[in-house]
Chains A and B, each alone.
Chain A
Amino acid sequence: GAVVSQHPSRVICKSGTSVKIECRSLDFQATTMFWYRQFPKQSLMLMATSNEGSKATYEQGVEKDKFLINHASLTLSTLTVTSAHPEDSSFYICSARNKGYNEQFFGPGTRLTVL
């Protein structure tokens, strides 16, 4: 149990375009989802926390207008990178948590490359 999927696994886009990444909890209801960003050979940095049906809470330094997060249902959260630039190239990982559980379950990640 407790599987989280991400789609796409890899995406290459041109500078200035927008990219949407989906995060789904497949066998449980995720009241909270987290979006992390990982640069090569670095740790995961929390970008934002999203709760179903409410606005996401962004970490300091993360532009909410650039990284749009929608947690429309208990099984789906999306991250849209708007007007992507090469410096947005990174590995984006989501995690999901069900209410009452101490564990987060991580998706497999999405590798974004902006040309």
Chain B
Amino acid sequence: AQSVAQPEDQVNVAEGNPLTVKCTYSVSGNPYLFWYVQYPNRGLQFLLKYITGDNLVKGSYGFEAEFNKSQTSFHLKKPSALVSDSALYFCAVRDTGRRALTFGSGTRLQVQP
């Protein structure tokens, strides 16, 4: 069975500093990986995905993620954090059979001004 781990419940960074939100995965076969962001009482907004190709994936709002097959990781990054980036971030892997997503536990990002 596939799984996703987000080891940090919360990440705190100062505005303007780089941020990293960690994600590791376990799947059989090729992974389809996603990052979503959720604001309070809202649904999920798609940030980026890795299906195949370049290991560095660029997404919305200046976010990017690096796929590392040897470390089975897909960490989310941004060079310069904004206060408005403060939200809940979910990493997910897609089940190749059912097409449903398995989500990590989420990481709350807090960017301090």
Q: What is A's interface to B at a CB cutoff of 8 Å?
A: 4, 6, 32, 34, 42-46, 49, 57, 91, 93, 95, 97, 102-109, 111
Contacts of B41 in A (CB 8 A): 91, 109, 111
Residue of B with least CB distance to A97: B99
Q: Which of B87-113 contact A (CB under 8 A)?
A: 90, 94, 98-106
Q: Is B83 an interface residue (CB 8 A)?
A: no
Looking across the interface, which residue of chain B has its beta carbon closest to that of A110?
B43
Chain B contact-residue range equals 20 to 34
A contact residues around B103 at 8 Å (CB) = 43-45
How many residue pairs bridge A and B at CB < 8 Å? 52
- CB-nearest residue of chain B to A32: B99
Task: Give bound CA distance, A44 to B38, whole Å.
Answer: 11
**What is the bound-complex CA distance between A104 and B49, given in angstroms?**
11
The listed residue (A49, A102, A106) touching B43 by CB distance below 8 A is A106
| Chain B residues near A91 (CB-CB < 8 A) | 41
Chain B residues with CB under 8 Å of chain A are 32, 34, 36, 41-46, 49, 51, 90, 94, 98-106
Interface of A is mostly: strand
Chain B residues whose C-beta falls within 8 Å of the C-beta of A34 in the assembled complex: 100-101
Closest Cβ neighbor of B106 among chain A residues = A43
Tell me the nearest residue of chain A to B105, going by C-beta. Answer: A43
Centre residue among A32, A34, A43, A91 by max chain B CB count within 10 A:
A43
Q: B101 touching A46 by the CB < 8 A rule? A: yes
Would A106 and B45 be within 8 Å (CB), given that A43-B90, A57-B98 are in contact? yes
Q: Complex: how many Å from CA A4 to CA B43?
A: 10
The residues of B that contact A103 with a CB separation of less than 8 Å are 34, 46, 49
Q: Which residue of A lies closest to B102 (CB)?
A: A46
The answer to whether A105 touches B49, judged by C-beta atoms less than 8 angstroms apart, is: no
Of B41, B49, B99, B106, most buried by chain A (CB within 10 Å of CB) is: B99
